[in-house]
Chains A and B, each alone.
Chain A
Amino acid sequence: MKHKVPYALKLRSFPGVGIAGVASLVFLYFPMFVVAAFSFNDGNRALAWQGFSIRWYERVFHDAAIISATRMSLIVAGIATVASVVLAVAYVLAMDRLSRAGSVLAGAILAAPIVVPEVVLGIATLSFIRLIGMTPGFLPLVLAHTAFCFPFAMMNIRARYDGLNPAYFESAADLGATRAALTWKITLPLLAPGIVSGALLAFVVSMDDYMISSFLTSAGTTTLPIYIFGLIRKGVNPSVNVVATLLLLMAIAVTVATTVLTGRKKS
């Protein structure tokens, strides 16, 4: 539904909403802008501006600890993304076959990671793996990440699936496509934008997680958020400014990509 707002209405009805809007955007972006600006600071101390330099970027790109933590995060996020997307596609394509009660229950369990406070999910997962005889480390880390990435991957894939026109499938079936061919050649390609945007969000959610990972990592599986949390606790740090700026860039790239891919359907 498209509608135009008369210019006069905007002025007359809601004076001040523009100020609130711009002020909110400044509030949301100014702190990140300051961090990004200081990442180009030449000084050794993070807070006094001493001229432009990219030397902290060079330092971060040669920092063995940051590189290995980043590599660990990328590996965990990569596996968790692929696993959660595969599970989500299978789930979305089959969920309507579940009984009504079954699908309500399954939906509630699978969406729970969004609603349950992270700290609770973290200690709960630690308790659980302890009970089944696992110790914190790579495998529980990857499994837990897959579980909490799942709802984010699933939502996008499902939104895309629900928006598909059944006529595609009917005409394919009428033309003699087998079930397997339908799934592989029609459904999956049509789902692709939802799959890619779901995967991107799952990846970001996994890369961002500090809380749950902090209970599940061992000495050898330090992820990037765990490592920079350690740095931040010691105070302001120029290397953290650089990592923070790079993570901000990742968020911008992912948001732009998912917006383009999913396309805004609402007016």
Chain B
Amino acid sequence: MALNLAQHEQRALPKPGQLSGWFTTPAILLGLLFTLGPIVVITVFSFMSQPANGSGVDLIFSTKGYEQFLFQEDFYGNRGFDGRYLSAFWLSFVQAFFTTFASIAIAFPVAIWMATKTERTQNVLLMLVTIPFWTNLLVRTYAWIILLSEDGTVNTVLGWFGIEPQVLLYNSYATLISLIFSFLPFAILPMYSSLAGFDFRLAEAAYDLGARKLDVIRKILWPAVSGGVLSAIALCFVPAFGSYLQPVLLGGGKVLMVGNLIADQYGQARNWPFGAALSVIILALTLLGAWALLTWAKRSSTKVSLAV
């Protein structure tokens, strides 16, 4: 299945099985109520003030939610710069960047490998990459606790070689490896799908004409796969940036990323305006990123599709 970012063409032949346009209403209503509606509401909430006690918001205009992102007021009302939340954003960015980079770097040879197999093998490999995609994310994250904990699988194997048990869990490396594990299929699938129709005889021809290996990769394979790379960036970076399960379960409370920061504001911290403001900032960054990707795609006339 494929979700094209570019708008689909109007069908040339109208199909008589069609229903009247009114039949789209229930779906659109659901989208307006439970997707667009909530996003509008948190945007409004981000400009409201925090009630004296309890959760929720007081409907009084305030920009405090956004000010809190950078500044902190001390007991006497003096305002000082506060870098804690900015560093959570930075950490999220770094984690998402390395997740995306590693996933694409791994997916590139894997996509070539898959695409050069016979059709039947390709279908089997495609299925093998798709299964993790549909496996419960919580369960996939949990698997790394078993692997990395103090008496876990990795330490057991290390023990066979006489190596002392290492502390592997509850840090940003454990978080990163599980993020790559989570999102690698999101890179392989679109990159493979942009290479699947590629005629590898082109690469053969380039070799015959004396091209060097690096040139073949750079000038022939990379352009063919670049649409898939753009999709992979979108599909890996955004969810990794806003991830919650991996930093909470494998970071053990020590890895503060934007996802758990936001969730905390709606949980223990009971600061909804701040949580809403952080969400609006993420959404704005996501939109900006999507716009940049699409502009880049248009410029280099690369076709981007979120092939899943």
Contact = CB atoms under 8 A, between A and B. Distances in A.
Given A3-B201, A14-B113, A110 B31 contact: yes
Interface string A233-267: 10110001101100110011011100100101011
Nearest to A130: B56
B142 A166 contact: no
A14 B139 contact: no
Contacts of A29: 128, 132
A111 B306 CA distance: 11
B225 interface: no
A6 B201 CA distance: 8
Contacts of B147: 31, 34
B151 A47 contact: yes
A172 B16 contact: yes
Give chain B's interface secondary structure class.
helix
Given A112-B31, A150-B27, A169-B17, A121 B38 contact: yes
B276 interface: yes
A133 B290 CA distance: 34
A146 B27 CA distance: 10
A112 B19 contact: no
B116 interface: yes
Among B19, B188, B204, B259, residue most surrounded by chain A Cβ atoms (within 10 Å): B19
A75 interface: no
Interface stretch (A50-58, A62-70, A100-108): A100-108
Contacts of B20: 94, 97
A109 B263 CA distance: 23
Interface residues of A, number: 118
A211 B275 CA distance: 15
B27 A87 contact: yes
Interface of A: 1-3, 5-6, 9-10, 12-14, 16-18, 20-21, 24-25, 27-29, 31-32, 34-35, 38, 46-48, 87-88, 90-91, 93-98, 100, 103-104, 106-107, 109-128, 130-131, 143-144, 146-148, 150-151, 154-156, 159, 164, 166, 169-170, 172-173, 179, 182-183, 186-187, 201, 204, 207-208, 210-211, 214-215, 225, 228-229, 232-233, 235-236, 240-241, 243-244, 247-248, 251-252, 254-256, 259, 262, 264, 266-267
Closest 10 CB pairs of A and B: A117-B242, A124-B38, A187-B17, A97-B21, A21-B113, A31-B143, A147-B34, A94-B23, A20-B109, A128-B38
21 contacts: A3-B201, A5-B200, A21-B109, A28-B128, A31-B143, A34-B146, A91-B26, A94-B23, A100-B10, A109-B32, A109-B36, A118-B239, A120-B279, A123-B266, A124-B41, A127-B38, A156-B1, A208-B134, A211-B244, A251-B131, A259-B126
